[in-house]
Chain A
Amino acid sequence: MPLSKSMTETGRPDAPNLADAAAHIRSAYVHIPFCARWCPYCDFAVVEGRDDSTDRYVRAVVSEIESEPAWGELGAIFFGGGTPSRLAPPLLGSIVEAVAERFGVADTAEVTLEANPEDWTEDLASGLVAQGFTRVSFGAQSFDPVVLTALGRAHTPDHIVRAVEAARSAGFSSVSLDLIYGTPGESMDSWARTVEKALGLEPDHLSAYALTVEPATPLGMQVRRGGAAPDPDLQADMWERAVAAAESACLVRYEVSNFAKPAHACLYNLGVWAQGEYLGFGLGAHGFRDGVRRRNVKRLDTYVERIESGLGAVQGTEVIGGWAAEIERLMLGLRRAAGVTSGAGGEALMASDSGKRLVDAGVVGLSGDRLVVTRPLLTDEVVRAVLALGEYP
């Protein structure tokens, strides 16, 4: 079923027909790696202190877009980072324009950027709206100054409040907040206040992520040296707290970590979770088109030099077919509240002993022909159980 206007404009974010129809959205991801400083938990492709290269980088991205084979009209563009809000609106606008020229962008398209609250001004906000942005996702992370410091963030809770107001008055049609829970030292009370303050700003969308220790980060290093690590049990409590609070604020949980008001689910992400196709531009970006996943080089200079010398930035490709495709379908689809149609992997699981144990433990169940994870925090266990069954029976 194709994506209809009624689904995106009025539908519940966790509706199965929306979840499945999102597979038809064509979208693009654009990576903007520049940051004022590297947050200690982040393992994305970022650069610090390289703002002198922004113009050259944007030219390279535009040229990468121009060399991509033609495609149909895009329904979503997502600028992630790094910190996209470090670039001036005209620079970001030139990328949006290049995408529009190359592929066409639907009138109803969702055009998102990630932003740091401390960068955000009214001028910036209106400039971005003028360049075609419709949605902003703020890296709020916490409303507790102590936690923000622990996370290496430069903003204060006030910055977040002002940023949301500015985005609204500039005309952004969807405002989202990212929060992080389980930072060592963050108490349940602190998290509860963060959630309450975030919801008090009436965001259209909320992402609440458990702090994850990635090995190749300063945080990973600290933990290896015996520093405090997030406590998974406390994080489970915090997740439950966030779910309850979000629901009472009419935000529907539609994925493990994502909540939205009706008509505000992130289309770009819905597309990815439905195994939809997306193009990836910029360093470290991944794309998925015609059953092939490709990833770009991760170093800024390499990326720019390769594009400038006409080599292309793709570092590797992987054909996703057969069992791998089925595993990914479940791995992504089961993260959604809407679940996923059972298919070969789901049917094999439900017929197996391990599947029965998961059903008995209340982790997974069938709702019609859909496999739905009923204890979302144990989603990975379900996917591993499918993997353990081996290839197609």
Chain B
Amino acid sequence: MTDQSRIRNFSIIAHIDHGKSTLADRLLERTGAITEREMREQVLDTMDIERERGITIKANNVRLEYTARDGASYVLNLIDTPGHVDFSYEVSRSLAACEGALLLADAAQGVQAQTLANAYLAVEAGLEVIPALNKVDLPAADPERVAEELVGILGGDPDEVLRLSAKTGLGVDDLFEKIIREVPAPVGSVEAPLRALVFDSYFDAYRGVVCYIRVVDGRISAGERLRFMASGEEYNANEVGFLTPRAVSVATLGPGEVGYLITGAKEIDRIKVGDTITSVAYQATAPLPGYSEPKSMVFSGLYPTDGDDFERLREALDKLRLNDASLHYEPESSRALGFGFRTGFLGLLHMEIVRERLEREYDLDLVATAPSVAYRVVKPSGEAIEIHSPQDLPNPGEVATVEEPYMRVMIISPSEYIGAIMDLVTNARGDMVNMTYLSPERVELVYHVPLAEVVFGFFDSLKSRTRGYASMDYEISGYRASDLVKVDILLNSVPVDAFSAVVHRDKAYEYGKKLVDKLRELIPRQLFDVPIQAAIGSRIIARETVRARRKDVLAKCYGGDISRKRKLLEKQKEGKKRMKMVGSVEVPPEAFVAALKVDD
């Protein structure tokens, strides 16, 4: 057990690529938590995908021991946070385990929207926020300007903003000292009944569910009988300890300490992240403030290309969910695609990552339908239902109004792109909320935009219209009624449910035409003509035809061609096997996400 006055719990908030992982590596190195020989770059990012994409998905934590300039030694718990907007839910979980946060901005690129959004989360959570600039050694760095921006947001003196280079280690000691000086020590009660917050968990094949916990009051000891206050489940504390980043098991963790707990629980669903752990023998009366369940924002149908893989897909999703409480799925069936799962995600990146992990780690071949949002349908009777899939939208006669989720979208951009951004937002049916100049050259713009528009390439368009300089963050701001219709696609005169989309009436024709064009490009020529039609109800709004393939044979096949030709056909067969049979039409899997890219 460590004396609380010697504990500092903090997170690092940073934009992707602004150097958070590199800084974490330096902190570990500087405190000798790992030797140079053990040093792998970006130690805290353990998943392959995190390393490849340079982003952090799962919160992780590490305990650092640091001897300060005053000679006293401190325990610093660094709790990692994801940097991407899709994962703000995980960010707030991580922040709840801390008293302070380091706001790290790239000294060349300046503050980005996601950083700002997460900084606001930290301020709201009552954390002490320490601004710092990274990459000050870069030639393009402009620390003065970015420091001004940071104090413009957080207040304070620009000269007090830390200047760091995570790459060279410059400023790291000053950072430690500042954390010790400014981040408040935890102030839990040792005598009070145990209250520990589960701020993350993951499933280990050998140990079962591993919880990451922050002890707020009391103490937690190995062997103790524990009660999870929200779920009511009881478990034994088989092992408690902390990560250095190696797991070090200890007898007891006291107030203010951060570490892990292994209970022998085998199903992660039984343990809710955000739950409060107390002792059965000496129970707390009230739990800590928990989290609201993360809400799925984007939905997509995931189907195995080979129908026989349905059970494997279910098992894979079950396993992924062990480590990703924000993943929601329920079985659904599509006439076109067979059996699959309607899957809810926090956002598009989350969707992409889950899909990639399913394909990569579980060796599944998947078809993902175009993402959709959750619509609220009010029936003439006044009854309201929520639909997660366009195919569930009732016929026009059974609908009084359809409401769609709107987002509060915050964009930070050089001011020269204001016109281009306005134009983009108008196209996306958005309204301006306000505009604030952070400096004469940089502006913060806030809009209300339908999520459905944000989902379809909004961020990519924003990046291309602002040459990559704008950054964006969004949060749900509520539902609003819109004039929405369902556009169906008919392939060879048969409606294909997986292609249906809910679209604003003013955009329905354009959307139908573009999607039909796109499908005509993507669907290979078949043995017969394949008409592709877009329809609203029974009204056809666009039509194209994929002409029948007429010639598919090599001109000659003589003695010298045989082996080569056989191998060529074998290779082509692989392409054929990927195709999904929709009625009598072979459709390549990428056609099902064509709707995503109708604007290309």
Residues on A close to B: CB < 8 A? 29, 44, 207, 209-212, 232-233, 235-236, 239, 256-257, 269, 272-273, 278, 280, 284-288, 293, 295, 318, 324, 327-328, 331-332, 335, 353, 357-358, 360-361, 363, 376-381, 383-385, 387-388
Which residue of chain A lies nearest to B558 when distances are taken between CB atoms in the complex? Answer: A272
**Residue contact B553 to A387, C-beta cutoff 8 Å:** no
Q: Is B584 located at the chain interface by the 8 A CB criterion?
A: yes
Which of B54-62, B376-384, B463-471, B560-568 contacts the other chain? B560-568
Kindly list chain B residues whose C-beta atoms are within 8 Å of the C-beta of A207.
556
The 8 Å CB contact of A328, one of B552, B556, B562, is: B562
Which residue of chain A lies nearest to B565 when distances are taken between CB atoms in the complex? Answer: A331
Which residue of chain A lies nearest to B568 when distances are taken between CB atoms in the complex? Answer: A380
- Known contacts A29-B559, A44-B560, A295-B563; 18 further A-B pairs (Cβ under 8 A): A207-B556, A211-B555, A212-B554, A232-B551, A236-B551, A257-B556, A272-B558, A280-B560, A286-B563, A287-B559, A288-B562, A324-B566, A327-B566, A332-B562, A376-B553, A377-B551, A380-B554, A388-B576
**Residue contact A384 to B576, C-beta cutoff 8 Å:** yes
**Residue contact A378 to B549, C-beta cutoff 8 Å:** yes
**Residue contact B551 to A384, C-beta cutoff 8 Å:** no
Q: Is B138 located at the chain interface by the 8 A CB criterion?
A: no
**Residue contact A293 to B555, C-beta cutoff 8 Å:** no
**Residue contact A233 to B550, C-beta cutoff 8 Å:** yes
**Residue contact A256 to B559, C-beta cutoff 8 Å:** no
Can you report 18 A-B residue pairs in the complex whose CB atoms are below 8 A from each other? Answer: A210-B551, A232-B550, A233-B547, A233-B551, A272-B562, A273-B557, A286-B559, A324-B566, A328-B562, A331-B557, A331-B562, A335-B557, A357-B584, A363-B527, A378-B527, A378-B549, A380-B553, A387-B570
Q: Which of B519-574 contact A (CB under 8 A)?
A: 527-528, 547, 549-560, 562-563, 565-566, 569-570, 572-573
Which residue of chain B lies nearest to A373 when distances are taken between CB atoms in the complex? Answer: B553
**Residue contact B553 to A212, C-beta cutoff 8 Å:** no
Kindly list chain B residues whose C-beta atoms are within 8 Å of the C-beta of A287.
559
| Known A236-B551, A331-B566, A387-B569; contact A381-B527, beta-carbon cutoff 8 A | yes
**Residue contact B563 to A318, C-beta cutoff 8 Å:** yes
- Interface on chain A toward B: helix, strand, loop, or mixed SS? helix
**Residue contact B528 to A361, C-beta cutoff 8 Å:** yes
**Residue contact B559 to A361, C-beta cutoff 8 Å:** no
Kindly list chain B residues whose C-beta atoms are within 8 Å of the C-beta of A378.
527, 549-553
Q: Which of B244-266 contact A (CB under 8 A)?
A: none
The 8 Å CB contact of B551, one of A239, A295, A324, A388, is: A239
Q: Is B577 located at the chain interface by the 8 A CB criterion?
A: yes
Q: For the complex, what is the distance from the CA of A272 to the CA of B559, rounded to whole Å?
A: 6
Which residue of chain B lies nearest to A178 when distances are taken between CB atoms in the complex? Answer: B556
Q: For the complex, what is the distance from the CA of A233 to the CA of B572, rounded to whole Å?
A: 20
Kindly list chain A residues whose C-beta atoms are within 8 Å of the C-beta of B562.
272, 286, 288, 293, 328, 331-332
Kindly list chain A residues whose C-beta atoms are within 8 Å of the C-beta of B527.
357-358, 361, 363, 378, 381
**Residue contact B560 to A286, C-beta cutoff 8 Å:** yes
**Residue contact B555 to A388, C-beta cutoff 8 Å:** no
Q: For the complex, what is the distance from the CA of A200 to the CA of B573, rounded to whole Å?
A: 42
**Residue contact A384 to B573, C-beta cutoff 8 Å:** yes
Q: For the complex, what is the distance from the CA of A272 to the CA of B563, rounded to whole Å?
A: 12
Return B276 CB to nearest CB of chain A, in Å. 55
Return A110 CB to nearest CB of chain B, in Å. 15
Kindly list chain A residues whose C-beta atoms are within 8 Å of the C-beta of B560.
29, 44, 280, 284-286, 295
Q: For the complex, what is the distance from the CA of A211 to the CA of B556, rounded to whole Å?
A: 10
**Residue contact B572 to A384, C-beta cutoff 8 Å:** yes
Kindly list chain B residues whose C-beta atoms are within 8 Å of the C-beta of A384.
569, 572-573, 576
Which residue of chain B lies nearest to A384 when distances are taken between CB atoms in the complex? Answer: B573
Q: For the complex, what is the distance from the CA of A360 to the CA of B555, rounded to whole Å?
A: 25
Q: For the complex, what is the distance from the CA of A332 to the CA of B558, rounded to whole Å?
A: 9
Kindly list chain A residues whose C-beta atoms are within 8 Å of the C-beta of B551.
210, 232-233, 235-236, 239, 377-378
Q: For the complex, what is the distance from the CA of A381 to the CA of B556, rounded to whole Å?
A: 15
Kindly list chain B residues whose C-beta atoms are within 8 Å of the C-beta of A377.
550-553
| Known A236-B550, A361-B528; contact A380-B563, beta-carbon cutoff 8 A | no
| Known A288-B559, A361-B528, A363-B527; contact A380-B550, beta-carbon cutoff 8 A | no
**Residue contact B555 to A257, C-beta cutoff 8 Å:** yes
**Residue contact B555 to A209, C-beta cutoff 8 Å:** yes
**Residue contact A388 to B577, C-beta cutoff 8 Å:** yes
Interface size on B, residues (CB 8 A): 27
Kindly list chain A residues whose C-beta atoms are within 8 Å of the C-beta of B549.
378, 381
Return B11 CB to nearest CB of chain A, in Å. 52
| Known A328-B562, A332-B562, A358-B527; contact A381-B555, beta-carbon cutoff 8 A | no
| Known A293-B563, A379-B552; contact A332-B573, beta-carbon cutoff 8 A | no
Return A84 CB to nearest CB of chain B, in Å. 15
Q: For the complex, what is the distance from the CA of A232 to the CA of B525, rounded to whole Å?
A: 12
Return A312 CB to nearest CB of chain B, in Å. 18
Kindly list chain A residues whose C-beta atoms are within 8 Å of the C-beta of B558.
269, 272
Kindly list chain A residues whose C-beta atoms are within 8 Å of the C-beta of B577.
388
The 8 Å CB contact of B573, one of A286, A293, A388, is: A388
Kindly list chain B residues whose C-beta atoms are within 8 Å of the C-beta of A376.
553
Return A58 CB to nearest CB of chain B, in Å. 20
Kindly list chain B residues whose C-beta atoms are within 8 Å of the C-beta of A327.
566, 569
Q: Bits for B137-165, please: 1 = Cβ < 8 Å to A, else 0.
A: 00000000000000000000000000000
Return A338 CB to nearest CB of chain B, in Å. 15
Kindly list chain B residues whose C-beta atoms are within 8 Å of the C-beta of A212.
554-556
Q: For the complex, what is the distance from the CA of A353 to the CA of B565, rounded to whole Å?
A: 25
Kindly list chain B residues whose C-beta atoms are within 8 Å of the C-beta of A256.
553, 555
Which residue of chain B lies nearest to A233 when distances are taken between CB atoms in the complex? Answer: B550
Return B596 CB to nearest CB of chain A, in Å. 28
Q: For the complex, what is the distance from the CA of A5 to the CA of B527, rounded to whole Å?
A: 41
**Residue contact B555 to A331, C-beta cutoff 8 Å:** no
Q: For the complex, what is the distance from the CA of A341 to the CA of B453, rounded to whole Å?
A: 58
Return A334 CB to nearest CB of chain B, in Å. 9
Q: For the complex, what is the distance from the CA of A328 to the CA of B557, rounded to whole Å?
A: 11
Which residue of chain B lies nearest to A360 when distances are taken between CB atoms in the complex? Answer: B584
Kindly list chain A residues whose C-beta atoms are within 8 Å of the C-beta of B555.
209-212, 256-257
Q: For the complex, what is the distance from the CA of A385 to the CA of B570, rounded to whole Å?
A: 10
Q: For the complex, what is the distance from the CA of A284 to the CA of B558, rounded to whole Å?
A: 13
Return B588 CB to nearest CB of chain A, in Å. 15
Among A211, A363, A388, which residue has the most Cβ atoms of chain B within 10 A?
A388
Which 3 pairs, one residue from A and one from B, show the smallest C-beta to C-beta distance?
Answer: A236-B550, A361-B527, A387-B573
| Known A233-B551, A236-B550, A285-B560; contact A331-B569, beta-carbon cutoff 8 A | yes
Q: For the complex, what is the distance from the CA of A387 to the CA of B568, rounded to whole Å?
A: 11
Among A212, A295, A360, A387, which residue has the most Cβ atoms of chain B within 10 A?
A387
Return A30 CB to nearest CB of chain B, in Å. 11
Kindly list chain A residues whose C-beta atoms are within 8 Å of the C-beta of B566.
324, 327-328, 331
Return A102 CB to nearest CB of chain B, in Å. 19
Q: For the complex, what is the distance from the CA of A235 to the CA of B549, rounded to whole Å?
A: 12
Kindly list chain A residues whose C-beta atoms are within 8 Å of the C-beta of B547.
233
Q: For the complex, what is the distance from the CA of A324 to the CA of B563, rounded to whole Å?
A: 9
Return B244 CB to nearest CB of chain A, in Å. 52
**Residue contact A209 to B556, C-beta cutoff 8 Å:** yes
Which residue of chain B lies nearest to A327 when distances are taken between CB atoms in the complex? Answer: B566
Kindly list chain A residues whose C-beta atoms are within 8 Å of the C-beta of B554.
212, 380
Q: For the complex, what is the distance from the CA of A335 to the CA of B558, rounded to whole Å?
A: 11
Return A53 CB to nearest CB of chain B, in Å. 21
Q: For the complex, what is the distance from the CA of A376 to the CA of B577, rounded to whole Å?
A: 23
Q: For the complex, what is the distance from the CA of A380 to the CA of B575, rounded to whole Å?
A: 14
Which residue of chain B lies nearest to A31 when distances are taken between CB atoms in the complex? Answer: B560
Among A358, A361, A384, which residue has the most Cβ atoms of chain B within 10 A?
A384
Q: For the complex, what is the distance from the CA of A272 to the CA of B581, rounded to whole Å?
A: 36
Kindly list chain B residues whose C-beta atoms are within 8 Å of the C-beta of A380.
552-554, 569, 572
Q: For the complex, what is the distance from the CA of A198 to the CA of B563, rounded to whole Å?
A: 32
Q: For the complex, what is the distance from the CA of A328 to the CA of B547, rounded to whole Å?
A: 30
Which residue of chain A lies nearest to B561 when distances are taken between CB atoms in the complex? Answer: A286
Return A235 CB to nearest CB of chain B, in Å. 6
